[in-house]
């Protein structure tokens, strides 16, 4: 065990004295020391309940013969950070979380870990750290929020953002907007649709790093506390058997995660996080594989914002395991992979059952025969861009229209609310990529404004930034190379015709190569000179979106 190297022997008496300053007994030091990485804070609604999860995990560890010691991880609420400078600090925290967790574990000699994340960058950041550290680890998240209710219908944060667009368009009044404000987010937990946080929590189950129900048991259910106790107990079993994250997160497991992503209709942000996790695992991630997997994987779930069902409904329908059971029917998964249960996926899902064949469609009756995410390529995005096609209206799967170009998210939002965007337009927002933003901001505000104003079936949006999992419509992000790196998106002009064909995975700027070369000489790349602090370092190290916006070490 790692801890024994800094606890036993006369030369380690100073170390023991500091452990004893914590109030630890010799008996506790003789047991495996389990780090409890708690993301509890009082600003993120998805994390406000993690103090209870932490205490339950600690109890589980102690019940199973370990010594639990908690230390913190940071987390940003993407909803609160949305639409202003704060969003520049969201994606960048993923690497801060991974790096700081690595530092704490290596400095203090833990024998095992229980990771307690919940929201968007917190989950992948800790998955990256677990692969990097490669000591026995279990994940238990805080759980999803229950859906709100307005006018007798379930609602969520995406409906709240769209309500702002409806208010600006004059289709609802201030009283109705206030009603949405008061009811859209009724409990603690990660926002209630298949947004990024819930996507990654569900994929944690598929990757084998979280126990059954980790992605779907609502935050306010007592079953979530039970799950936390079992996670604490289970990490001790992993320590005894020496089962480590890289034994679990193999190439086959990551391929399983992509497959499940397609069936669940996860956030496009998973196409940033899975490559980053794979990188830490030493597994090659080819973005072209995404379309190959999508071609043979049916989309079985239309959770909000794609449809009217929510995480609580997925939980009642049988959860992630029920989805995996459907996929197993047609041989799309490698179920021989090891998981944190100490059993294979095949053993885990043996008794899984689909209780609601509308929330989770069967493979015989899918929402579509192809997966929820598509990677498009063409001269506008030679290295790829990503769209959540399961949330695109059928009439927008193929679209061609004139570009309306904006140099920032703020410029685009102002134009949308001013009525400058009309049916058929293709809104282009550039210089919002990983380095150009910097920080690759989410574009939930402009996409929600378009949807709220009733234009989501008529207008496409393209950006080198990214989208919230709450986004719906023909919203195409992660354009690579990004504008600041000289990508073709930097040379688009108002009125240029852009062609989008999602079924054929194509995106084209209908401008000749000669004209593009001419523009490269006339249109200088724009850089931001007022960047300071952590963002200044981030810009120098971050990779392009198609590589997962990883930090190039």
Q: Can you tell me whether residue 382 is helix, strand or coil?
A: strand
Quick check: 489 and 482 in contact, CB under 8 A? yes
Element (H, E) at 520: helix 513-522
In angstroms, rounded to a whole number, what is the distance separating the alpha carbons of residues 275 and 115? 20
Q: Which of 468, 475, 480, 544 is catalytic?
A: 468
Give the residue among 413, 440, 544, 439 at the shortest CA–CA distance from 485. 544
Cα distances (angstroms) measured from residue 264 to each of 101, 202, 390, 423, 514: 29, 9, 9, 30, 43
What phi, psi does 356 have (nearest 5°)?
A: -145, 100
Cβ-proximal residues to 18 (8 Å cutoff; 6+ apart), any chain: none
**Cis peptide bond prior to 438, omega within 30° of 0:** yes
User: Is the bond preceding residue 360 a cis peptide, omega within 30 degrees?
Assistant: no
Q: Is 327 left (phi over 0), alpha (psi -120 to 50) or beta?
A: alpha
Q: Which two tokens stand for residue 153?
A: 């219908």
**Between the CA of residue 290 and those of 261, 295, 383, 401, what are the distances in Å?**
10, 9, 13, 27
Q: What are phi and psi of 377, to 5 degrees?
A: -135, 155
> Number of helices (H) and strands (E), helices first, in the chain?
22, 14
Q: Is 468 labeled as catalytic in the residue annotation?
A: yes
- Residue 154, strand partner residues: 149
Beta bridge partners of 138: 114
CA distances 401 to 404, 495, 498, 499, Å, are 10, 8, 6, 7
In this structure, the dihedral spanned by the alpha carbons of residues 23, 25, 29 and 30, taken in order and rounded to 10 degrees, is -170
Where do runs of H (alpha helix) occur along 270-357? 270-281, 287-296, 311-317, 319-329, 345-348
Any idea which residues carry the catalytic annotation? 468
């Amino acid at each position: 065990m790692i801890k024994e190297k800094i606890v036993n022997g006369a030369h380690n008496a100073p170390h023991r004295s500091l452990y004893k300053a914590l109030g630890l007994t010799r008996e506790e030091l003789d047991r495996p020391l389990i780090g409890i990485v708690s993301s509890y804070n009082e600003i993120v609604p998805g994390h406000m309940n993690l103090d209870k999860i932490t205490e339950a995990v600690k109890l589980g560890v102690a019940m199973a013969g370990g010594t639990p010691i908690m230390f913190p991880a940071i987390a940003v609420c993407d909803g609160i950070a949305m639409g202003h400078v704060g969003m520049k600090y969201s994606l960048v925290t993923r690497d801060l979380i991974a790096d700081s967790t690595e530092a704490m574990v290596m400095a203090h000699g833990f024998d095992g870990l229980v990771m307690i994340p919940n929201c968007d960058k917190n989950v992948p950041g800790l998955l990256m750290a677990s692969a990097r550290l490669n000591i026995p680890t279990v994940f238990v998240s805080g759980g999803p929020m229950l859906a709100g209710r307005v006018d007798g219908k379930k609602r969520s944060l995406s409906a709240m953002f769209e309500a702002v667009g409806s208010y600006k368009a004059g289709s609802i009044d201030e009283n109705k907007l206030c009603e949405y404000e008061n009811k859209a987010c009724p409990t603690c937990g990660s926002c209630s649709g298949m947004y990024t946080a819930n996507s990654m929590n569900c994929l944690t189950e598929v990757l084998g790093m979280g126990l059954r129900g980790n992605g779907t048991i609502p935050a306010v259910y007592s079953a979530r506390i039970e799950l936390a106790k079992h996670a604490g107990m289970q990490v001790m079993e992993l320590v005894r058997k020496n089962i480590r994250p890289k034994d679990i997160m193999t190439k086959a497991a990551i391929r399983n995660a992509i497959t499940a992503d397609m069936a669940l209709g996860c956030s496009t942000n998973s196409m940033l996080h899975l490559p980053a996790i794979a990188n830490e695992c030493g597994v090659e991630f080819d973005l072209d594989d995404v379309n190959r997997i999508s071609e043979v994987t049916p989309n079985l779930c239309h959770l909000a914002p794609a449809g009217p069902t929510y995480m609580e409904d997925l939980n009642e329908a049988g959860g992630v395991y029920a989805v995996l059971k459907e996929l197993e029917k047609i041989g799309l998964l490698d179920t021989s992979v090891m998981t944190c249960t100490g059993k294979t996926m095949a053993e885990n899902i043996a008794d899984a059952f689909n209780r609601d064949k509308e929330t989770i469609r069967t493979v015989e009756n899918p929402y579509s025969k192809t997966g929820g995410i598509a990677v498009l390529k063409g001269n506008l995005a030679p290295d790829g861009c990503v769209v959540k096609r399961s949330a695109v209206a059928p009439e927008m799967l193929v679209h061609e229209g004139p570009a309306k170009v904006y140099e920032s998210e703020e410029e685009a939002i102002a134009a949308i609310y001013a009525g400058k965007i009309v049916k058929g337009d293709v809104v282009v927002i550039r210089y919002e990529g990983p380095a150009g933003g910097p920080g690759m901001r989410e574009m939930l505000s402009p996409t929600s404004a378009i949807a709220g104003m009733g234009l989501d079936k008529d207008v496409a949006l393209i950006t080198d930034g990214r989208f919230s999992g709450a986004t719906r419509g023909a919203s195409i992000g992660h354009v690579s190379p990004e504008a600041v790196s000289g990508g073709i998106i930097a040379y688009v002009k108002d009125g240029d015709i852009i062609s989008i064909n999602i079924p054929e995975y194509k995106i084209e700027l209908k401008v000749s190569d000669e004209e593009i070369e001419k523009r490269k000489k006339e249109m200088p790349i724009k850089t931001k000179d007022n960047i300071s602090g952590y963002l200044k370092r981030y810009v120098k190290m971050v990779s392009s979106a198609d590589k997962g916006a990883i930090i190039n070490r």
